[in-house]
Amino acid sequence: MSARTTRRILLGSAVGAVAIAGAVVAAAGAISVVVARTVIIPPSRRQDDIEILALDVANGTVVLSSTPDSRLPGEYSFWFSGDTGHARVGEIITQDARTVTRSIEPADFGDLERARRGRFNGWFYLSPADLGVPFEEVQIGTPLGDAPAWFVPAAAPDAKRWMIGVHGRGVRRQEALRGIIPFRAAGFASLIVSYRNDGDAPRSDDYRYALGDREWRDVEAAMRYALAHGAEELVLMGWSMGGATVLQALTRSGFGDRVIGVVLESPVVDWIATLDFQVELRKLPTVIRVGVLTLYKHQWAGILTGLAEPLDLERMDFVTRAQELDRPVLILHSDDDGFVPSVASRALAVARPDIVSYEAFEVARHTKLWNYDRAKWESAIIRWIGALPS
């Protein structure tokens, strides 16, 4: 082989290697953009991931395909036919490797008899009316405009303690209705709020979740409303991303000194840990994790993500910021969460045992702790409220 031929082969190999490396980098970048956008773009529709195999209306039973959700003991909302219908399912009657038979109540709306697929979630209640309590629909003046909320007065008139309930990512304020039960039993009024981009409150210009980094301003508006309407002490309660949001409100709002405690259910205590978990769950390479974090942190990436402003993920890491907290915190989290790992919640409890109470669950999965074990969930909150300083 001549020297000239050898040089051509080597040059071709080098060009090929560079091309392959470039393609790999480009592919990693494209996947990073997709993952980053998936987290921050509000979902327009949820997947019906459970098959309806049989329905016995007379006996109030339904046979479902076996999935992690359909196998969960407890009581749940069952949305079917692309969220056009809703019913409530109860405890498991029988199950095998392929099917689960559960009790089911008549549909609140939609044609259940013609439905073929559906999905579970933990809301269970659709309105405070389902709880049999008095309530009022109110409007909270947020920086983006009026956002609807439910106000549930305390059983005793002129209650000075209010709970503000904040739902998580991709759902609406119905998620937080479960919090009314123990707080009303403890003498609190409740304000169940909506926030930007959740489908009830006004949209932001970019129509992107900020993972709590901007949503906290809407919670601050709810705090202002509560204090203007008779509240003197506040407890903030957040589910999932709502947990990250109330921690931002606690530490960044001018009304933070009126908060006497925080309850976090299946919370995002550290977004970086949660994103790491999601990347590992999808078996994606570490470079994707680095790419996603880079996209969130820099202004130039807004053209790819759609974010109007970069996100300060370090500011949303309350394991690292644990020493900045100075109010009682109750965390309820399942080690089988499946979406937001409990590792950061446990780490915060270890870092601040003086103020953080941790109630561990198993099996319950993400934001379904009340549904799985209502008695344990409610009693944990009532005990924690009883220990709050007066």
Is residue 20 over pLDDT 80?
no
Q: From edge to edge, which strands make up the β-sheet containing 161-166? A: 136-142, 145-152, 189-193, 161-166, 233-239, 259-265, 329-334, 356-361
Q: Following CA atoms 291, 297, 299, 304 in sequence, which dihedral angle do they give, to the nearest 10 degrees?
A: 30
- Lowest-confidence pick of 204-208, 256-260, 308-312, 386-390: 386-390
76-119 pLDDT, tens digit per residue, is 999 999 999 999 999 999 999 999 999 999 999 999 999 999 99
User: Residue 7: its pLDDT value, please?
Assistant: 53
**Reported confidence tier of residue 4, pLDDT bands at 50, 70, 90:** low
Which amino acid is present at 165? G
Nearest to 236 by CA among 201, 192, 266: 192
pLDDT of residue 326: 95
Are 212 and 137 contacting, i.e. CB atoms less than 8 angstroms apart?
no
Task: Identify the pLDDT of residue 283.
Answer: 85
Q: For residues 328 and 131, what is the distance between their CA atoms, to the nearest angstrom?
A: 28
Q: Give per-residue pLDDT as tens, 162-185.
A: 999 999 999 999 999 999 999 999
DSSP letter assigned to residue 157: T
Question: What residue has token string 């915060």?
Answer: 348
User: pLDDT tens digits, residue range 36-68?
Assistant: 999 999 988 889 999 999 999 999 999 999 999
What sign has the CA pseudo-torsion 135, 137, 141, 145? positive
Average pLDDT, the chain: 92
Report the pLDDT value the prediction gives residue 19, as an integer from 0 to 100. 43
Residues 6+ positions from 178 with CB-CB distance below 8 Å: 122, 124, 125, 370, 377
Least confident window among 24-33, 164-173, 264-273: 24-33
Quickly state the pLDDT bin for 29 (edges 50, 70, 90).
confident
Domains and CATH numbers, the chain: 50-121 (2.40.30), 128-385 (3.40.50.1820)
Helices (H), 282-342: 286-297, 302-305
Average pLDDT over residues 128-133: 96
pLDDT tens string 134-153: 999 999 999 999 999 999 99
The total of other beta-carbon atoms located within 10 Å of residue 316's CB is: 24
Question: Which pLDDT score, from 0 to 100, does residue 8 have?
Answer: 55
Regarding pTM above 0.85, the answer is yes
Q: Is the pLDDT of residue 21 over 50?
A: no
Find the mean pLDDT for residues 282-306: 91
Q: How confident is the model at residue 28, as a pLDDT?
A: 74
d(CA 293, CA 338): 21
Say if residue 131's pLDDT is above 70: yes
* pLDDT for residue 390: 73
Q: Is the pLDDT of residue 279 over 90?
A: no
Residue 22 above 70 pLDDT? no
pLDDT in tens, 210-224: 999 999 999 999 999
